[in-house]
Amino acid sequence: MSIKKTIIYFVFFILFINVCALGQSNNKTVDVYIFYGQGCSHCEKIHEFFDKIEDDYPQMNLVKKEIYFDKENALLMQDFCKKINTQVEGVPTVFIDEKMYVGYSLALTVEIEQKIKNCIKTGSCCNLGDGVINQSCNQTDIDPNPPNWEKDYSNIGYIFIGGIIMILLYYLMTNKK
């Protein structure tokens, strides 16, 4: 096999590895708890919102709990409120990480979706359904925007690929005969 073919195969191999690495994502799931009441019109709207975005976030674990006719679910909602030092305000109520969202509005859905994106991006959101909030969830000195090492290292890969392509082009241009 000639050197030109070897270099071309090497470049395509490096490109393939980098594309595969970019396709990997954070596998941590984000638990989203929706407490709702049967017959509640705002609850129907929040369900429609989640039905619309559910396919966009495969890492989202959606847990729906009806509280008007299910006493255990109502008690679970109260338990979640206690864990984050607040009180039940009404339905629909959505819990993500240590944040509670009550009611329905377009502005609220934007805020909820942003929280989901942030939890997926950082992988650092807590799950209230675990029964206990661990100590790291209650710390206020945690950087809300930690470095995304996966993204930072992929840039090094692009620089490496660019260098290989430059060497390949130089080699091909100087060996024209």
Distance CA 78, CA 97 (A): 16
Is pLDDT at 49 greater than 80 in this prediction? yes
Per the omega criterion (within 30 degrees of 0), is the bond before 146 cis?
no
The structural domains of the chain, with segments of one domain joined by +, span 30-133
- pTM (2 d.p.): 0.62
The answer regarding whether domain 30-133 maps to CATH 3.40.1410.10 reads no
Tokens of 145: 């925007």
pLDDT at 134: 42
Distance CA 108, CA 66 (A): 20
Which whole number is the average pLDDT over 102-115?
96
Which whole number is the average pLDDT over 105-118?
95
pLDDT at 172: 75
Give the three-class secondary structure for 102: strand
Q: Which residue has the higher pLDDT, 163 or 107?
A: 107
- 51-65 pLDDT per residue, tens: 999 999 999 999 999
- 31-43 pLDDT per residue, tens: 999 999 999 999 9
pLDDT-based confidence at residue 125 (cuts at 50, 70, 90):
confident
